[in-house]
């Protein structure tokens, strides 16, 4: 956000936030989710989960992503066959896994952008 930006409040998708001083990026932070409040003077981010790119382990993230993606087809099949109470529980689990997949993929994408 640039100085003088119109005020807004928005949810944040998983990804990298870059903090600038002048034209130079002075810090990068990976944010899994949260809310950003923009005023003409500043941008405030309230993050549910944030990490320095230096703390992200590419191999561990890739392994976790493969595990999640390996579980999704089976869960979708179970959901297709499920009835009432089981269906609700499986739907919640599917949404949780899809969210985890999105965050893990965003972490890998962010690492690719920063060269880590």
Across the chain, mean pLDDT equals: 90
pLDDT of the residue at 30: 94
pTM over 0.85: no
11-14: Cβ within 8 A, 24+ apart = 11/35, 11/36, 12/36, 12/45, 12/47, 13/102, 13/106, 14/102, 14/103, 14/105, 14/106, 14/107
What does the pLDDT look like over 75-99, one tens digit per residue? 999 998 988 888 999 999 999 999 9
pLDDT-above-70 percentage for the chain: 96
Confidence of residue 115 (pLDDT cuts 50, 70, 90): low
Q: Over 60: is that where the pLDDT of 14 sits?
A: yes
Region of residue 34 (left: phi > 0; alpha: psi -120 to 50; beta: else)? left
- Pairwise CA distance, residues 90 & 78, whole Å: 8
The arithmetic mean of pLDDT across residues 17-32, rounded, is 90
Query: Is residue 105 within a helix (H) or strand (E), and if so which, with residue range?
Result: helix 84-114
- CA 74-102-37 angle, to 5 degrees, is 145
């Amino acid at each position: 956000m640039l100085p003088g930006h119109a005020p807004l409040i928005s949810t944040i998708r998983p990804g990298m936030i870059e903090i600038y001083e002048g034209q130079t990026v002075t810090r990068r932070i990976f944010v899994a989710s949260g809310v950003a409040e923009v005023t003409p003077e500043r941008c405030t981010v309230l993050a549910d989960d944030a990490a320095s790119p230096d703390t992200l382990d590419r191999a561990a993230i890739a392994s976790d992503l493969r595990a999640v993606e390996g579980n999704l087809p089976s869960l979708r099949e179970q959901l297709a066959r499920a009835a009432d109470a089981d269906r609700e529980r499986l739907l919640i689990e599917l949404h949780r896994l899809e969210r985890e997949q999105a965050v893990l993929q965003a972490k890998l994408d962010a690492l690719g952008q920063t060269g880590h």
